[in-house]
Amino acid sequence: MKSDCMQTTTCQERKNDPIEMLHSGQLVKVCAPMVRYSKLAFRTLVRKYSCDLCYTPMIVAADFIRSIKARDSEFTTNQGDCPLIVQFAANDARILSDAARIVCPYANGIDINCGCPQRWALAEGYGACLINNPELVRDMVKQVRNQVENPRFSVSIKIRIHDDLTRTVDLCRKAEATGVSWITVHGRTVEERHQPVHYEAIKIIKENMSIPVIANGDIRSLKEAENVWHITGTDGVMVARGLLANPAIFAGYEETPLKCIWDWVDIALELGTPYMCFHQHLMYMMEKITSRQEKRIFNALSSTSAVLDYLTDHYGIDWTP
């Protein structure tokens, strides 16, 4: 676990506490926990473009507490990386609370992944299978609350919905009673992948909660984010793939501006982002602004210097330090 000499509890002592933000009545714009993608460099980028709150990628709590190497690989942060929520995959209350205590000085809170539909996660008892086990969710939340002394440290959950929405409402009510700070709802069932998002279901859940609710699912522009916010009555919106395609989405850009690409190169190089990640993000960002032939050429580039040369030649931007 790496940090740039960050002082203990710095993140909680600063403004923009996420719980206060979610009670403000203003739209809170959130970067989703995306495996491989929502790491420090990308979080730094989207914060420059009006993102209010960022999540880490999902981290398996058991691996995190077992291995220093895993901690250094999975969780990197710095003083500007705030407010920050660390998302964990867990199925054991003690293990989750141990992981929460480790990250507490460096983050505003943790989130329990109760929505991942991938087979490996379900097989391990992680992710979306937890929406059918509210007692385990309760135990994990309580254990974290008991073990983490900072009262401002948030504990949230991210869920998918059931076919029978009354089960989801019941789960959320139980989570609220246990002390969950807020709930993020991806408006699809575990079986649904690309089907339309059930925003009406998110609205019903919000109407049954006293704590904040964040809406998630298929938001591709600031206008869509604002529409979902109004339709559902939620307190924030979380975006995943839309931010990958356009990290400036929350600043109102319809497609990735060249300035954002420039910023990504600067940030990624400064933070030492591995080439595969550096290149993959650019492929997503440039999807809408490049032709099919340009994509073939750009996607085949195999080094940072080749990428910089391509961008300089095609877009006239000089990245010389």
> What residues are labeled active site?
116
- Paired tokens of 157: 């959950």
195: annotated binding-site residue? Answer: no
Tell me the residue length of the chain.
321
Q: What is the dihedral of CA 204, 153, 99, 51, to 10 degrees?
A: 70
Distance in angstroms (rounded) separating the CA atoms of residues 212 and 183: 7
**Residue 240 annotated as binding site:** yes
Partners of 109 in the β-ladder: 85, 154
What whole-number distance in Å separates Cα of residue 81 and Cα of residue 293? Answer: 37
Q: Please indicate if the annotation marks 268 as binding a ligand.
A: no
The dihedral of CA 51, 57, 58, 59: what is its sign?
negative
Q: Is 241 annotated as a binding residue?
A: yes
Sign of the alpha-carbon dihedral angle for 5, 10, 11, 16: negative
Q: Which residues are bridge partners to 76 per DSSP? A: 2
Check the annotation: does 99 bind a ligand.
Answer: no
Handedness of CA 98, 129, 156, 10 (dihedral sign): positive
Do 61 and 89 form a contact (C-beta atoms < 8 A)? yes
DSSP 8-state assignment for residue 2: B
Query: Is 186 annotated among the ligand-binding residues?
Result: yes
Does 87 appear as a known binding residue? yes
Binding site members for FMN: 33-35, 87, 186, 240-241
Binding site members: 33-35, 87, 186, 240-241
